[in-house]
Each structure stands twice: as structure tokens, then as C-alpha cells.
Amino acid sequence: MNIKRFFGKNSREALSMVRKALGEDAVIISNRASNGGNEILAVSEHDMHAMANQFSPLNGDALDSPTIQQPLKEFEEEDYAEAPTLLSILNQNKRAPKQPEYVAERPKATTPAQAPRRAPVAQPNYEPSYTQPSYVQPSFDMHAQEAIAGMSHQELSEQFSMMLSEMRGMRNSVQTQLTTMTWNNHLQNNPVKAKILSTLLAANFSASLSRQLAEKLPNSLDMAKSSAWIKGALAPTVGKICMDMCMVDVTDIPNVQAGDTVEIFGKHISIQEVAKSAETISYEIMTGISLRVKRVYIEE
């Protein structure tokens, strides 16, 4: 299994390097702070599947293949016939005359008289004190090993698939938590953006999309919404004006139908209230309406 190491200044940069190198389906093994940065160990999903197939007990086809036994060497009767017997060896030794053994005498070497030596002084025996370290023998769950060995190939594949899905879920959870922690530090001075980022991540939006949406929100945006007048009641607006259109929530107003008149500002809602909700002045509201918006003047 090819495990790769990625190091970045922060977790965001390290995760970006993992995506570029291994793709979106990369499996993150560890994520820790190291040397003033962030270090991630990751492996591709293809290598994880290869490891799963490699350690499957049914992949050992070599164990089930028949072994080829080498035939034993057979001796022929002629080999036994030509082999000497014990009786023939004894008779041959009796017939052979004994040769006199000649041992050369070694010349006696004269050695000079040696001076008397001092008796060696007994040295104290210093044995180092050494304590044998104790090792803890690893324990194996034999019942679990026997259960794994008794599984079929399909059951093992299901187990590995379940493990991979759990690792993907852990990766998404870790990625979401890292994104939330990283961007909450950047958005401490803007609680509105931090709240929107947390809401998008909790709604299972991707971390990159949630971050982009939170970044592009204007700094003047607050949680208070403007309102519109319809059927004698105020209805809150939803979202922002886009392409000269806006959305109004009429859930709590009964008998609302298509074609009803909606008052954005006028008799019941002053232009100053609209300007206050938009954090601007009434002049900017009046002059900021595009000429593409159709004007309908109603005279009473």
C-alpha cells in the first residue's frame, strides 16, 4: 500500500494537496500538527481496495494448487552388486602387509632460562548490575482470527466495503470540523458569516461551497430581514434581490393568490424603512432601481 505524506502551512493547504494528488476519494489515515504546519497521511482508494484483495484468505490460490512431488531416486540391483561387503574389506586388510610406521623425531630445541615471574594478583570481579527488561507478549484474539478465517470471500468483501464507507464518513467529518475551526478563526469579527458557514455545513453542503458562499457575503449583511406589505400584513423577504427579483415568505398570510399586489415601499412601508434595512439612504434606493424594472403608477 502506497501511503503518501503531505505537509502544508495549515490544514486547508494540506487537504488541497491531498485532493490534487489522490483525488476526492482519497482516504485520510492521520492528520496532525507538525513543525509549525499540518501533516496528513493519506492513501488512494485504489490502493485501499488492493490491500483488501491482497489480504483476503481466498486469494491464496497457491495453497490450493496441487504440489508436484519429485520422484525418489531408485537404485538398481547392479549398484548393490558392485558395492563392497564387510567380509571383503576384512580379508583385504589381512592380505595387505603392515608397513612400519616411521615417526620423525623432533629436534630438541634449547630454550634460555627464563626469569622468575611474579605471581598474578587476583583482580576483584566487578560484575555489572543489569536487570533483564520485561517484555509484554502481544495477545491475539483467537476467536476473532478463527471467525475471519471462516468467512467467505463475499463476506470479507462486505466487511471491507463497510470499513471503507466508515473511513469516508470519518474523512468528511474531519474535513468539516477542520473547515469550521479554520474559518471560525477568520470570521471571529463577523458573526453573521460564521453563523451562515455553520448552517451550511450542518445542512451537508460541501466544505468548499460553504466557504465560498460565506466569503462572498457582503460585510454589511445582518440577520435582520426587510419586509413587504401584502393583504394587510407584513411578510418577510427571503434572500437578496437578484436579477431585479426578490422572494417574499407568505406562509403566515392566508388567502394569498397569484396576482395579488405587493407593496415593497409606499403607503404602509416608507422608503426610509427600506433604506434602513439595506443600511443605506432613501436616495440610493430611489436612484438604484434599474431602468429595466417596469414602472406602474397607481393614482388614487
Q: Each residue of 244-262: pLDDT tens digit?
A: 677 777 777 777 877 787 7
Sign of CA dihedral 96, 101, 102, 103: positive
- Confidence grade of residue 73 (pLDDT, cut at 50, 70, 90): very low
Q: Each residue of 7-40: pLDDT tens digit?
A: 888 888 888 898 888 888 888 888 888 888 888 8
- Confidence grade of residue 143 (pLDDT, cut at 50, 70, 90): low
Does residue 258 share a domain with residue 208? no
Does residue 239 share a domain with residue 272? yes
Residue 232 lies in a domain: yes
Residue 253 lies in a domain: yes
Residue 129 lies in a domain: no
Radius of gyration in angstroms for the set of CA atoms belonging to the chain, rounded to a whole number: 46
Does residue 193 share a domain with residue 50? no
Q: Each residue of 157-210: pLDDT tens digit?
A: 888 888 888 887 777 777 777 766 766 666 666 777 777 777 777 777 777 777
3-state secondary structure of 230: strand
- Containing structural domain, residue 194: 187-216
Cα-flanking dihedrals φ and ψ of residue 295, to 5°?
-95, 125
Does residue 162 share a domain with residue 47? yes
Residue 152, pLDDT above cutoff 80? no
Does residue 242 share a domain with residue 211? no
The pLDDT of residue 134: 67
Q: Each residue of 99-123: pLDDT tens digit?
A: 555 555 555 555 555 656 776 666 6
The residue count of the chain comes to 300
Residue 107 lies in a domain: no
The interaxial angle of helices 207-216 and 153-186, nearest 10 deg, is 20
Q: Which CATH number characterizes residue 240's domain?
A: 2.40.37.10
Provide the mean pLDDT of the chain. Answer: 69
Residue 61 lies in a domain: no
Residue 112 lies in a domain: no
Q: Which residues contact 22 (CB under 8 A, 6 or more apart)?
A: 4, 42, 43, 44
Residue 241 lies in a domain: yes
Does residue 242 share a domain with residue 199? no
- The domain boundary residue, chosen from 195, 216, 237: 216
Tally of domains within the chain: 3
Does residue 282 share a domain with residue 164? no
Does residue 232 share a domain with residue 212? no
The pLDDT of residue 166: 82
User: Dmax over Cα atoms in the chain, in whole Å?
Assistant: 157
Q: Which residues contact 265 (CB under 8 A, 6 or more apart)?
A: 271, 273, 274, 285
Q: Which residues contact 170 (CB under 8 A, 6 or more apart)?
A: 28
Q: How many CA atoms lie within 13 A of 124 on its CB side?
A: 3
Does residue 210 share a domain with residue 256? no
